[in-house]
Structure 1
Amino acid sequence: MEQDEHTLVVLGAGVMGVGITTLAVGFGLPVTLIDVDEQILDRARRKIRQELKLATLMGALPEDTEPGELRTATSAGSGADASAVIEAVTETAEVKAAVLAEISALVKPGTPVVSNTSSIPIDELADAVARPEDFLGTHFMNPPYLIPMVEVIRGRRTGDAAQAALGSVLTALGRRWLVVADHPGFVTSRVLHPMLNDAIRVVREKTAPPETVDALFEGCLGHRTGPLRTADLIGLDNLADSLRVLHARTGDEGCRPDQLLLDKVQAGHLGRKSGRGFYDY
């Protein structure tokens, strides 16, 4: 499929939905962004304009490509004619399953329906979709327009055609991808999120403040931003949700969200998106 034949639907106008939409529009794809809340969509349109400017300044988008058309809607029915659907709602299995059930019943057979998830097994969500052979997962890292690699998760019932169709979309978005098996957290979150949880525990135990922890990871281990800045970028609420999924599905006590993380979420200090997390923004 040629790039100009892709029509993308993104479900959910939160941080990841906005980031994926920014990437797609910046690479010239028409996108319909769907959310049930019109006020959230209004904020998303403004945020996408800002992120497109930032991505352009950083050289993250092709210079010779006209931005794709952006439409917004509050009904899943607006996505019925999509060539691909990416769900990017909150990291809660029940919420994702409900959204996926609705959209998968509307799109044409053969349309790849994709859950962007950091931790929830794809085969678990596949029980909710109309055609499990058309369903698979991605894990775009934040912000999607700056990170060139995407983790693709193939479920037990995912068909070859769905994987190939998603690959075509990712190529049109200028992304590289690697396919992994379907286990809780897959590769990146299964390794990264417990490590972030441990870094938060180190701060709570007063071994070192966030600045020192991050500086040590940058200077000693070559980590680009450090674990606490990474947690703030992910969103502390999203991190807590992902850790809960991992803990419930693996039994790994290292995935039980640390109390300091829970306290920050309770206080509304969610990281970059709220202006305050382990750092002020």
Structure 2
Amino acid sequence: MPIKKVMVIGAGQMGAGIAQVTAQAGFEVLLNDMNEAALEKGMNNMNKLLTRAAEKERITENEKEQTLGRLTASSALEDAKDCDLVIEAIVENMEVKTKVFRELDEIAPAHAILATNTSSLPITEIAAATNRPEQVIGMHFMNPVPVMKLVEVIRGIQTSDETYEAIAGMTEDLNKTSVEVADFPGFAANRILMPMINEAIYTVYEGVASPEDIDTVMKLGMNHPMGPLTLADFIGLDTCLYIMEVLYEGFGDSKYRPCPLLRKYVKAGWLGKKSGRGFYEYN
């Protein structure tokens, strides 16, 4: 059955971004969040981003209005009852995610695909919480969603070929490029990225170089658009630590051990840009 109506759960930066690009691609979209304030903020942010895009003539005023017309706010999970696809984009916590997926399994129609935007948690375990594990898949969007072209499509051990093909095809409809990834800790993107960030933090911890110089090395020496420590601040140091812990626990390999300085910064509340301080200070 073709995908026409989509619910995105979680009205934060990632969820709102996913909802926006999905609506722009012509799908009917419900943006769902139990927190009414977060839901209102997410809807307002999409309106602002689309207005800015229209002002800069990246989209027409008519395209903006059509996109907004396809977006609906939802505060009840029961609204998934007639959706063809549900994309979950909530907190990176297995207990919370599996609870939502169990509820969705009861609410969503039998044909519906249930997807998760998790950046590191096992799809296989999330799928096992449902009675339709063959219809559960990972869709890991990159941040910021409206700008970044990549989506990791992650197959759990139970995911069917039909489910994968439907999601890979839909990703193209969103004007994104999908890569097929197996269900291993950190998938592909974060398994490569996070150890690099962690090693950059170790070089600060061991006094090899300053954060500014480490970032300069990677930008001018390796042609990276952003240094790893600036990127870590942008992602959130608490998120970096969480993903490193998932890698360390999942593989049991000391090369994934989170740097003690990363733990110290997180304990201090220095989480990066969102808290005003990480490896750099933000006013």
Do the aligned residues in 1 keep the contact of 2:119 with 2:140 (CA within 8 Å)? yes
The residue aligned with 2:23 is: 25
The aligned amino acid for 1:93 is M
The residue aligned with 1:46 is: 44
Do the aligned residues in 2 keep the contact of 1:86 with 1:116 (CA within 8 Å)? yes
Q: 1:123 to 1:220 in 2, by over 3 A?
A: same
Q: 1:70 to 1:181 in 2, by over 3 A?
A: same
The residue aligned with 1:109 is: 110
Moved more, 42-51 or 88-97: 42-51
The aligned amino acid for 2:163 is A
| Shift of residue 96, structure 1, vs aligned partner | 1.2
Do the aligned residues in 1 keep the contact of 2:155 with 2:180 (CA within 8 Å)? yes
| Shift of residue 212, structure 1, vs aligned partner | 1.5
Task: Identify unmatched segments of 5+ residues in structure 2.
Answer: none
Q: For 2:57 and 2:155, how far apart are their aligned partners in 1?
A: 31
Question: Where does structure 1 differ by over 4 angstroms across 4 or more consecutive aligned residues?
Answer: 53-64
Do the aligned residues in 2 keep the contact of 1:61 with 1:145 (CA within 8 Å)? no
Say what the alpha-carbon RMSD is for the aligned residues.
Answer: 2.4
Do the aligned residues in 1 keep the contact of 2:153 with 2:168 (CA within 8 Å)? no
Q: For 1:245 and 1:62, how far apart are their aligned partners in 2?
A: 43
Deviations 1:12-52 (A, max 9, x none): 22232122123223334332122221122122223223333
Deviations 1:49-88 (A, max 9, x none): 3333455678876887431422222221112211211111
The aligned amino acid for 1:277 is G
Q: 1:274 to 1:26 in 2, by over 3 A?
A: farther
Moved more, 77-86 or 267-276: 267-276
Q: For 2:203 and 2:61, how far apart are their aligned partners in 1?
A: 44
Q: 1:240 to 1:223 in 2, by over 3 A?
A: same
The residue aligned with 2:209 is: 208
The residue aligned with 1:254 is: 255
Task: Identify unmatched segments of 5+ residues in structure 1.
Answer: none
Q: For 1:255 and 1:222, how far apart are their aligned partners in 2?
A: 25
Moved more, 133-142 or 200-209: 200-209
Higher relative contact order (CA 8 A, sep 6+): 1
Do the aligned residues in 2 keep the contact of 1:134 with 1:159 (CA within 8 Å)? yes
1:1-40 alignment to 2 at 5 Å?
A: 6-40=4-38
| Shift of residue 233, structure 1, vs aligned partner | 2.5
Moved more, 41-50 or 133-142: 41-50
The size of the alignment, in residue pairs, is 279
1:113-192 alignment to 2 at 5 Å?
A: 113-192=114-193
Deviations 1:86-134 (A, max 9, x none): 1111112111111111112211122111111111121121111220010
Q: For 2:120 and 2:219, how far apart are their aligned partners in 1?
A: 26
Do the aligned residues in 2 keep the contact of 1:138 with 1:151 (CA within 8 Å)? yes
Q: For 1:261 and 1:188, how far apart are their aligned partners in 2?
A: 20
The residue aligned with 1:243 is: 244
| Shift of residue 214, structure 1, vs aligned partner | 1.3
Q: For 2:53 and 2:254, how far apart are their aligned partners in 1?
A: 38
SS in 2 for 1:24: helix
